[in-house]
């Protein structure tokens, strides 16, 4: 039978109490309701759960959700039940297996959560044959890929399970933006390439600037003068972190502290805590800094050298302006950065060299472009952005960029 998006909006209001879909939720839900397998790539907090929970309440049968962690499943279970959705988990931590199995067989469950280890067992396949399945939802789908950061071999066994139910659509969900991982997920889970939906990666309050490095202290102090709030400067090595922190403190008169894995644990923790509490501190750090740091009012992120990839650039600059207020980013590159990175490719194992080179080329493309930086960035993540954002150096300084780009092109092609 057909399920309309109007009916979905009704359920969005009635079941979840939300007025509107966010971002690409409507598109994803629309595809799922049309029975088309989909990989939805949406940032953390974008509302991925809703894209299967909502169809689960509409489509006849049970939606089977594969999730990698018991804690995640129980969170989801709580919130689904709070919305009045008939949901259950089958994990080693559950005592109510019998009730769950009975409810499932009776077709009384909208959502059934399982871990991949359980889902891949023959007994589970048999169980699924005993009732009607509405949808397979695979949460944290990057776990299926060795390219991802959380490879879980049991995710590989989901494809044969799902192949045994060829009429049931599949919805894979992840926040991982990396293009290789995404392509791999499509293959590993048997989702057609046209099923890829990516959105919500734009951070419109972040201004992107990328410039050739000529006088690094001067350039960074300029940024610090224009932006008195807290900032992060990423430097490539511990030695450069130390040196640059000293130089910036002396030249700017602002509080500047170093952060890298070589510091005494006590000093490292104190510098981090100081930064989190501060309204004007600048921290000069290796990329070890930032993960798990929740500071919404970071006003700028600078790179004193190229990041590892566009993904790394996006993630590191993404630490700026989480409060939604305007924030600056500045990448200072030198031709030597790319030359060195290319040289290092020869040390990369052969089977990964091609993809590493592609990463580097993509980053060079972002640095080289005379067009909108944000457009390059978002296109890299599979979005279809407007030609000009008005909030990057190239958009803001459009007439003056040709020379720098020419120089960049010559240097980068060397
Ligand atoms: P993700 O899995 O993508 O990180 P979640 O599914 O956990 O995100 O959702 C994040 C939050 O957004 C939840 O609190 C959820 O209730 C809320 N949310 C999801 N969709 C909507 C919507 N359309 N309108 C308002 N809030 C929403
Ligand atoms: Mg989630």
pLDDT in tens, 224-244: 999 999 999 999 999 999 999
Measure 378 CA to ligand 1 centroid, in angstroms.
Answer: 22
In this structure, which residue's CA is closest to atom 5 in ligand 1?
47
Dist CA 353 CA 92 (whole Å): 41
Residue nearest atom 13 in ligand 1 by C-alpha distance:
47
pLDDT of residue 324: 85
Atom of ligand 1 nearest to the CA of 49: 6
Start-to-end C-alpha separation, the chain: 59
Q: Which atom of ligand 1 is nearest to the CA of 16?
A: 16
Closest listed ligand to the CA of 50: 1
Tell me the H-state helices in 130-262.
158-163, 179-189, 216-226, 238-252
Burial of 157 (0-12, 13-18, 19+ CB in 10 A): middle
Ligand sitting nearest the alpha carbon of 72: 2
CB atoms within 10 A of CB 226: 11
What separation in angstroms does the CA of 235 have from each of 174, 239, 279?
30, 9, 22
Note whether 59 and 33 are within 8 A (CB): yes
Closest C-alpha residue for ligand 1 atom 9: 47
Which residue's alpha carbon is at the smallest distance from atom 21 of ligand 1? 47
pLDDT in tens, 32-63: 999 999 999 998 778 999 999 999 999 999 99
Three-class DSSP labels, 323-370 = CCCCEEEEEEECHHHHHHHHHHHHHCCHHHHHHHHHHHHHHHHHHHCC
> Which residue, by CA, sits nearest to atom 27 of ligand 1?
47
Q: Which ligand is nearest to the CA of 15?
A: 1
Which residues does residue 163 pair with via DSSP β-bridges, in sequence order? none
pLDDT score recorded for residue 391: 97
Q: In this structure, are residues 125 and 161 in contact, taking their beta carbons and an 8 Å threshold?
A: yes
Atom of ligand 1 nearest to the CA of 139: 2
Percentage of the chain lying above the pLDDT 90 cut? 78
Cβ within 8 Å of residue 157, ≥6 positions away:
116, 119, 120
The stretch 12-29 carries a mean pLDDT of 93
CA 192 to chain centre: 21
Which of 191-205, 212-226, 239-253, 271-285 comes out lowest in average pLDDT?
191-205
The ligand 1 site (C-beta within 6 Å) comprises: 18, 21-22, 25, 42, 44-50
Cα of 216 from ligand 2 centre, angstroms: 40
**Taking the mean position of all CA atoms in its chain, how far away is CA 15?**
28
* CA of 44 relative to ligand 2 center, distance in Å: 7
Q: Does the structure show a pLDDT above 70 at 184?
A: yes
Token reading at 379: 């296109």
The minimum-distance atom of ligand 1 relative to the CA of 22 is: 23
Nearest CA to ligand 1 atom 17: 47
CA of 333 to the centre of ligand 1 (A): 37
Q: What pLDDT was estimated at residue 399? A: 61
Query: Closest ligand 1 atom, CA of 25?
Result: 23
Mean pLDDT value of segment 123-127: 95
**CA-to-CA distance for 133 and 35, rounded, in angstroms?**
12
CA of 43 to the centre of ligand 2 (A): 9
Which protein residue's CA is at the shortest distance from atom 25 of ligand 1? 18
Task: Kindly provide the b/e burial profile for residues 351-362, where b requires at least 16 CB atoms within 10 angstroms of the residue's own CB.
Answer: eeeeebeebbeb
Atom in ligand 1 nearest the alpha carbon of residue 12: 23
**d(CA 65, ligand 1 centre) in Å:** 17
Alpha-carbon distance of 249 to 229, in angstroms, equals 15
Per DSSP, the three-state class of 279 is coil
Average pLDDT, integer, range 321-340: 94
Mutate to test the pocket of ligand 1, among 10, 50, 68, 75 (most ligand atoms within 8 A of CB): 50
Q: Which pTM does this prediction carry? A: 0.69
Task: State the closest ligand 1 atom to the C-alpha of 48, by its place in the atom list counted from 1.
Answer: 3
pLDDT at res. 401: 46
The pLDDT of residue 412 is 62
- CA of 46 from ligand 1 middle (Å) equals 6
Average pLDDT of the segment spanning 301-310: 95
């Amino acid at each position: 039978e057909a399920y309309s998006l109007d009916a979905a909006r009704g359920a969005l209001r009635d079941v979840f109490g939300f007025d509107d879909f966010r971002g690409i939720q409507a598109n994803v839900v629309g595809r799922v309701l049309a029975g088309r397998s989909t990989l939805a790539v949406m940032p953390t907090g974008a509302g991925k759960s809703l894209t299967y929970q909502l169809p689960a309440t509409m489509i006849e049968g049970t939606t089977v959700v594969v999730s990698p962690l018991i804690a995640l499943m129980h969170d989801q279970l709580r919130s689904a039940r709070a919305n009045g959705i008939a949901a259950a988990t089958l994990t080693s931590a559950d005592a109510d297996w019998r009730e769950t199995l009975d409810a499932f067989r009776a077709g009384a469950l909208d959502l059934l959560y399982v871990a991949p280890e359980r889902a891949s067992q023959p007994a589970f396949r048999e169980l699924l044959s005993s009732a009607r399945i509405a949808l397979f939802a695979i949460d944290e789908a990057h776990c299926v890929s060795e390219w991802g950061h959380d490879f879980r071999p049991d995710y590989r066994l989901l494809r044969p399970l799902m192949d045994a139910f060829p009429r049931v659509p599949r919805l894979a969900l992840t926040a991982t933006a990396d293009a290789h991982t995404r392509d791999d997920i499509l293959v590993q889970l048997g989702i057609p390439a046209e099923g890829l939906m990516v959105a919500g990666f734009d951070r419109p309050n972040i201004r992107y600037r990328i410039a050739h490095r000529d006088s690094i202290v001067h350039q960074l102090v300029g940024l610090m003068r224009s932006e008195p709030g807290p900032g992060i400067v990423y430097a490539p090595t511990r030695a450069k972190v130390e040196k640059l922190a000293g130089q910036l403190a002396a030249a700017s008169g602002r509080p500047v502290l170093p952060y890298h894995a070589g510091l005494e644990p006590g000093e490292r923790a104190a510098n981090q805590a100081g930064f989190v509490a501060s309204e004007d501190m600048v921290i000069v750090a290796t990329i070890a800094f930032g993960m798990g740091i929740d500071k919404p009012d970071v006003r700028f992120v600078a790179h004193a050298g190229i990041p590892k990839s566009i993904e790394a650039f996006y993630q590191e600059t993404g630490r700026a302006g989480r409060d939604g207020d305007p924030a600056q980013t500045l990448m200072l590159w030198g031709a030597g950065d790319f030359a060195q990175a290319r040289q290092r490719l020869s040390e990369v194992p052969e089977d990964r060299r091609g993809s590493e080179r592609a990463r580097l080329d993509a980053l060079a493309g972002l640095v080289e472009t005379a067009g909108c930086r944000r457009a390059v960035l978002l296109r890299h993540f599979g979005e279809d952005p407007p030609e000009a954002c008005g909030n990057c150096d190239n958009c803001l300084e459009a007439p003056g960029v040709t020379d720098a780009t020419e120089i960049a092109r010559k240097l980068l092609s060397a």
